[in-house]
Structure 1
């Protein structure tokens, strides 16, 4: 039961992703309604069978003032596909400031990238251009929907109408 469920606000905008047991509980307690169920799986109790939720919609609108992705180490790694942005290695990953902190480089989405320990120490206190180490991808701030769609690691085709993507964009 490690499947994830997309939670929609009352206006059908994507709000969050939660575990299947939590989603089932929200539906069972009439705090949410089932929008899409799994076509392959069912939940079974001793006497009943329930649809396995894939997308649920809350019955009340939840005001969510900040719908952004929190800047964390793991979220930077997810955005960069757990891959060094200089050499492509997946081992011994660290964070690198593209413009070094010693040169007033900020800790922000646009200045942090994933680097292996070797590339990070080789680049040192230089910019990628000065070190002759071009980035594979320029750092960027992902939107909330983009993060749910591309970086959460969940590829459920029933989510596509609500997160706005085609399946080939996700894979």
Structure 2
């Protein structure tokens, strides 16, 4: 069903919730509507797509696990050397493990099999294969969830509330 982006009082993304929960927060006065899609829940009550809490909520930092799935999502399911987007994607260590490269967000990227073999045991600079974007640790786990909706075109209005989406 319809999802709603919940912003903290500071306009930073906080959560994604159901439209029903968002409507309850609006009715109780705990949030205000920031964006809507033009559809109506009730007469003169548009269906929200983005709401903002009226009071700031402190949230603890949550570490995002370094997994194949998360790396593929961060890199947009595309080879970071040639841009290939298909089923034949592997993970590549920017600085090879044999040369001291670690298992970190900043050292692992998605690569097609062809580019991974071509690069071999070299750095991108040595192989003359520049990266399309610098690998980095994702900002938050919510970032992953929001970018999925933005990339599929479901909620383009969320883009302005997420850095790098």
**Equivalent residue for 2:121, pick from 121, 125, 131:** 125
The residue that corresponds to 2:4 in the other structure is: 5
Asked if 1 retains the 8 angstrom alpha-carbon contact of 2:35 and 2:157, the reply is no
Deviation at 1:86, TM superposition (A): 1.4
Report the CA distance shift for 1:130/1:158 in structure 2 as closer, same or farther (over 3 A). closer
The residue that corresponds to 2:31 in the other structure is: 33
Comparing 105-114 with 142-151, greater Cα deviation is found at: 142-151
Deviation at 1:94, TM superposition (A): 2.0
User: Mind listing any 5+ residue stretches in structure 1 that lack a counterpart?
Assistant: none
Asked if 1 retains the 8 angstrom alpha-carbon contact of 2:92 and 2:110, the reply is yes
- 1:81 paired to 2:76: yes
Instruction: Measure, in 1, the Cα distance between the counterparts of 2:39 and 2:101.
Output: 49
The residue that corresponds to 1:16 in the other structure is: 15
Secondary structure of 2:60 counterpart: coil
TM score, norm. by length of structure 1: 0.68
Deviation at 1:15, TM superposition (A): 1.2
Instruction: Measure, in 1, the Cα distance between the counterparts of 2:69 and 2:79.
Output: 14
**Equivalent residue for 1:108, pick from 104, 110, 117:** 104
- 1:63 paired to 2:63: no
Over residues 16-66 of structure 1, what are the superposed CA-to-partner deviations in whole Å (9 max), with x where a residue is unaligned? Answer: 233434434x5278484242352421236xxx7853121223466432121
Over residues 53-103 of structure 1, what are the superposed CA-to-partner deviations in whole Å (9 max), with x where a residue is unaligned? Answer: 212234664321216655443333233222101122112122211011222
Instruction: Measure, in 1, the Cα distance between the counterparts of 2:157 and 2:75.
Output: 23
RMSD: 3.7
Report the CA distance shift for 1:153/1:128 in structure 2 as closer, same or farther (over 3 A). same
Secondary structure of 2:125 counterpart: helix
User: Mind listing any 5+ residue stretches in structure 2 that lack a counterpart?
Assistant: none
Report the CA distance shift for 1:150/1:49 in structure 2 as closer, same or farther (over 3 A). closer
Instruction: Measure, in 1, the Cα distance between the counterparts of 2:70 and 2:156.
Output: 20
Number of residue pairs the alignment of both structures matches:
160
Instruction: Measure, in 2, the Cα distance between the counterparts of 1:106 and 1:49.
Output: 56
Structure 1 runs (4+) greater than 4 angstroms displaced: 67-70
